[in-house]
Structure 1
Amino acid sequence: MTSGSRIAVDAMGGDEGLAVMLAGVARARRRYEGTEFLLVGDEDAIRAGLDNHPGLSAASEVVHAPEIVSSEEKPSQAIRRAKTTSMGIAIDLVKQGRAAAAVSSGNTGALMAMSKLSLRTMAGIDRPALAALLPSLETDLVMLDLGANAECDMRNLVEFAVMGAAYARTALDLEKPRVALLNIGSEEQKGTDKVRDAAAKLRGAVHLPLAFKGYIEGDRLSRGDVDVVVCDGFSGNIALKTAEGTARFVGDLLKRAFSSSLRSKVGFLISRPATELLRSHLDPNNHNGAVFLGLNGLVVKSHGGANEVGVATAIGLAAKMVRDDLTRRISEDLQNFEAEAA
C-alpha cells in the first residue's frame, strides 16, 4: 500500500460497535476503488470480524490497539492514553505518514484534542475548525465552525471562510463557492464588531477562489443561497443541533400523520416515492463526516450513531479530500490571502 491511498480507521469507535464499522469499511472499499485501510483496534476482534468480509482483508492491514476511548472520557484523560488507544494510534498513523487520513466515530472532544496535539495547526492558522456538510434545497452546504471554538475573533472567522471555501471546492466540486457569515440580519450594520470586521476583510479578498455574499440568517441556511456558512463554534453547534432536531421532528410528524388512520395509510402508499426521497435527503448517514480543517493532516469525525452507510460516507469523504489534496489547497489559499492583504 501507499500512504496516498490509505485511510486509518478507528475500528473500535462509535456507538454501534465493531461489526458496523467493518461493514462500513467494506462498503467504502467497494464504492471507492483503490482505497486501502489500516484498521486500528483489538487485533483478534478485528480479524474475527473480517471473516464476514473476505474481500476487505486483501485491502487492509490490522494495527493493534489495546485500549479504546470511551464516549464519556474527558479529552485531558484521553490525551494521556493516546499511544495505546485506537483513536490515538489512528491519528498517529497520519502523523507518521503511514496513512493519508484518519476516520473515527469516537468521542468528538477527545478526537479534536488528540488531533490538534499530534498534528498541530498549519502555518498561518490560529485555530482549527470543525466543518460538516448539511443538506439544503439545492445541494449540500459546508458549515463551520461547529463546536471546536466556542469563542472566535475576526481573524478566526476569516480563516474559517478561506478553509471552508477550499473544502467546498473539494467536497462539492465547486470552482468558486459562495461564502456567507451567519448573522442576526442581512444588513451591513448588523452583528458584532468581529463579524462586521471579518466581512470587511472578506469583501476585499477579490482574488481568492470564493464569492463572498455577505450575511445569512439562520432561517435561510437550508435554502441553497450559499455554499459555505461561517460562524463561531458556539453559534454553529446550536444551529447544527437545531437543524438535526428539526429534521427528526419532521420525520416523526410524518410517521404519526401517515399512521393515524386507514385513509392516511393509503395516502402514504401513494406518496411513498416522495416521502422516501425526503427521508433520504434528511438522513444524516448520507451527509456523514465532519472534518477538522487547519491541521497538518486530515481527520474525519463520523457520527457516533452512524450505520454502515454513514461510516462509508465518512470514509469516502476522507478519500476525496486525500485525492484532491485539501491540505495543500488550504495552505495555498491562505498564502494568497495574506499576500493580498499585505
Structure 2
Amino acid sequence: MHPPKLLDQVRAAIRLKHYSSRTEAAYVQWIKRFVLFHNKRHPNGLGAAEVEVFLTHLAVADHISASTQNQALAALLFLYREVLHRELGAIDAVRARTDRRLPSVLTRDEVQQVIAHLTGTHALLARLLYGSGLRLLECLRLRVKDVDIERRALLVRDTKGNEDRVTVLPNALVEPITDHLRAVRCLHVADLARGYGAVYLPDALDRKYPNAARDWVWQYVFPSDRLSVDPRSGVVRRHHADESGLQKAVRAAARAAGIPKRVSPHIFRHSFATHLLENGYDIRTVQELLGHKNVKTTMIYTHVLQRRRGGLAVRSPLDG
C-alpha cells in the first residue's frame, strides 16, 4: 500500500486538531503553492531558507498583505511541525507591509438607512451585527443554545481567537429573534419528519452524544435554506446560511441608500465599537464585547473617533 500523499496527510493532521474547514482549505492551498514554487520538490528536502524565499516572493512580487503572509507562514509551520515533525527555526523573510488604514464606520443614521433597505432575515442579521458587535461568521454560527433571551446575552463561540465570549443581545431584537426562532423550529421539525434534522457538531461531540445533532438546542439560529452534503463526512445536513447572501444584500442596500462608502457586513461591527465609545463606554468594556485579546486592537476605534470629530478634537489656536 502506498503511503498517503502529502496533502492528504495535511488534511488528516488538520482534522485531528479539529481546525475548521476554512482553515483546512487555506492551509492546503498555501502548502500546494509552496511546493509548486520550488518546482514540486518535497518539503522534506526544503527548510527555513526555502520558506524565507517563498514568503519574500509573496511580499515583494505578489504584493500580498501582512495578514495573508502570516497565514502562509502559519500553514508552512503547521506542515513542518505537525506533518513532517520538524522545527524550522527562525524565519527571516521580507515582511509584507502592514495595513495602517483606519476602518470605515457608518453614522447612526447611515446604519438605519442601510438596514431600512434590507428585508427578512437579512435585516435581522444586519441588526444583530450592529447591535451585538459580531463578526459575520460568528453570527451565522450561533446555535439556539447560545441565545439567552432572559439575560439579553449571546454566547459567541468559534471566534477568531478560538475563545468563547459573551456579548449583548439588544432589547429591540428580543421579539424579532423570538419570532425568527419559532419559524426556524418549524423548519427543523419538518426536516426531522423527512429523516434529516442533524446538524454539524464541533470537537467530535457527535460521537460522544450520538443524539445531540438532532436536538433543537444545537440547531443553527440562521440555517441555510437548503440541505447540503457535508464535504468531510458525506452526511446530508442543513448547514448555517452562507455569508455571501448578506454580503450582496448589504452592498445593494448601501447603494440604494446612496451611501458613498465601501459597505460590507463587517462595517456594522466597526460602527458598534465606535458608537459605544461615543456613548461613553470605556475601552476595556468594548474590548471584552468585541473579543480582542489585546486592547491595542480596540484602540483603533479611538482614532476613528478622533477622525470623526475632526483632527484630534483639539481647538486650534487660530480659532482663538
Where on the TM-score scale, by shorter chain, does this alignment land: which range? under 0.3
Greater relative CO (CA pairs within 8 A, separation 6+) = 1
Q: Which has the higher strand share?
A: 1
Q: Which has the higher helix share?
A: 2
User: Rg larger in 1 or in 2?
Assistant: 2
TM-score where L is the length of structure 2: 0.27
